[in-house]
Structure 1
């Protein structure tokens, strides 16, 4: 059982006011807040260890390198990767997806198929469209239904011996739907296709085991997991990472350089050109420690309780419709008030100190499916409370009165 009052003390920002009201932060799907334990790690790095890594013989460089690589081991253990070199530091989920998409440019040919789902964030659509433009491959789409779930029978029909890569999110950022990725991965492997899972929205709520999933690539961002922005990770099976060419050229990713030929470093450095976000990588490890200290089972149980409470309270408001009603979903509620633009609702909620997200949430195909301009999205974390949900509900009721 979580002691939310004690947990909230770890997050300095939760004690501030917005527009003269106590902050109610329900935009966790965009970025989670950062506990002081992670903030302190960043301050400690710049105060005591700030140096470039992997290259220096001096003490600061060696200490910084040790901290950075220790964080990689923490990430490896958290996701249960077989080897630490299967964990590639990135600037975030989008970077990881683009790294893989770029690598597949040399592996695909005209007539090959790649499959995406209708529930994707733009970051898991656009890089693959660009890949198709470069290679002549075909992009196919797993459709969705009115509940916000993938139509798995159609997915089975899309798969063939021409399918080379499948990429879906673990959890929808716009609707909160938890996709059946175990089934998606198994079916793709049956036809010899590789699978990339976008874990940006899942990793704050669940603890993926990449070996148990047997997934080929898994990507995530630290800032969704109480860590800093500008850092994330790509997990890739060793055999796949060896097949893919480097994404960027520069220092650190080379073994030897002459003007005639360059040879590349071993994994993971082959994909980590240039000076990385050292403080961010170390803080990513600290964030994983923090969340594991709370416990992902505890987090999931409490957030499900918040989701159920908020869903019931919001549905009591006449004219309010929730989009994404799968039985398998996480702590995200996308909704609209009949006849009222979501932006207007979000603006009034902000005046009341309530932070929500409005718009298409970088998932415009979902909004096109529902024939709406966007939604109001309230997304919850383990440091939120039922009292804050009551504040949200009162705010939505006020917005309805003011805008009707």
Structure 2
């Protein structure tokens, strides 16, 4: 059934009932077409890939590689630049443990920012422990953006890598990736971008962005968990050594020597995430049909509406820029975010429940910067609407009455 036949919310079985889901930044709900694609891949169409000579295996191999082409087209890339991983976390670790170990040494430096997700901090710290590289941290502007003017002043020829989030998972602030790439390249550094929150909301073109690595997860993109993507420029990918050994990533194995398959297969050891990759491709097709321009405009409107409503209260502190994309983090005076999240999940008088994220959002250095231990976070998807905001505001009022 096409997206024109049903309302967007009706296409998501997980949203049935009077449940208002405002935690899309953590993981997106799945449209029925994605569920159907994964069920068919796991059942009716299932077979291994890259191995069998029988017809169904050959057909599944074609479908799996078609998913790679779909993914490449979605981000303006070539299919041989797409490595399937278990998610963005694994993609970043892959870069750290292959490119990083090969190219970085004591005396080199990495530049991160205050707002990075732990998945774009800890892998570099592990690398630093092994190699002796140093990590610098770029500050934020007053309204919560990565301060690229400060980054420009900080960068030196000793910096070999800059690793930044395209869209903050806490503040919704959007990075000027093309400028960040110019700054990194001006000192001879590579740029890695965490694209988890950007991929469902922004049209991407790797050539225009000119970063060197881009990582994202399917489950933020209305697809299944357990699959994500590392994109890298072809010459960089070709020069990177494998990091997992096993089947599928080899050319020839003897006890004396093993030679490896070319990229991207070199980085996909073992039986791959067949079902998940097909589910991701279905999610991309669905999102393409709906339209990324529509997604961005819709989420910007909802974000602006919620920020306007919350800023009208004298007991709410808002974090991040006014034009944040799809994500609103805030604090309710005198109420811990965990308490707010718990009360919102309790059934209201109208039978509604509201799901938000409450905590540090895997961004504890950013929490320290904001001077809080946690925030409440409402995040939107294409299925979100004004009723979700209304339910959240009613829940905040109910919480205020409880706490006095």
User: TM above 0.5, one fold?
Assistant: yes
| Partner SS for 1:287 | helix
Shift of 1:3: 7.7
1:31-50 to 2 correspondences below 5 Å: 31-50=27-46
Do 1:53 and 1:62's aligned partners in 2 also have CA atoms closer than 8 Å? yes
Shift of 1:356: 0.2
Do 1:4 and 1:384's aligned partners in 2 also have CA atoms closer than 8 Å? no
Do 1:255 and 1:263's aligned partners in 2 also have CA atoms closer than 8 Å? yes
1:214-363 to 2 correspondences below 5 Å: 214-324=210-320, 326-352=321-347, 353-363=353-363
Aligned mates of 1:154, 1:312 — CA distance in 2 = 30
* Total equivalences in the alignment: 396
Shift of 1:288: 0.2
Shift of 1:4: 11
Residue in 2 aligned with 1:19? none
Q: Show CA shifts across 1:102-159 (max 9, x none).
A: 0111211110011111110000000001111111111011011331122222211221
Change over 3 Å in CA distance of 1:327–1:312 after alignment to 2? closer
| Partner SS for 1:54 | coil
| Partner SS for 2:197 | coil
Aligned mates of 2:401, 2:322 — CA distance in 1 = 31
Q: Show CA shifts across 1:36-94 (max 9, x none).
A: 0010001111222211100110111101101100010000111111x211000010000
Q: Show CA shifts across 1:236-277 (max 9, x none).
A: 111111121111111100101111111110111100001111
Do 1:227 and 1:287's aligned partners in 2 also have CA atoms closer than 8 Å? yes
Residue in 2 aligned with 1:182? 178
TM-score (norm 1): 0.96
Change over 3 Å in CA distance of 1:174–1:4 after alignment to 2? farther
Do 1:218 and 1:234's aligned partners in 2 also have CA atoms closer than 8 Å? yes
| Partner SS for 1:289 | helix
| Partner SS for 1:63 | helix
Do 1:4 and 1:383's aligned partners in 2 also have CA atoms closer than 8 Å? no
Q: Which runs of 5+ in 1 are unaligned?
A: 17-21
Do 2:300 and 2:323's aligned partners in 1 also have CA atoms closer than 8 Å? no
Aligned mates of 1:218, 1:151 — CA distance in 2 = 20
Q: Show CA shifts across 1:357-396 (max 9, x none).
A: 0010000011101111110000011111102211110101
Residue in 1 aligned with 2:94? 99
Shift of 1:340: 1.5
TM-score (norm 2): 0.96
| Deviation larger for 305-314 or 374-383 | 305-314
| Partner SS for 1:227 | coil
Aligned mates of 1:362, 1:5 — CA distance in 2 = 35
Aligned mates of 2:398, 2:345 — CA distance in 1 = 12
Q: Which runs of 5+ in 2 are unaligned?
A: 348-352
Aligned mates of 1:338, 1:36 — CA distance in 2 = 39
C-alpha root-mean-square deviation of aligned residues, in Å? Answer: 1.3
Aligned mates of 1:28, 1:47 — CA distance in 2 = 28
Residue in 2 aligned with 1:381? 381
Shift of 1:335: 0.5
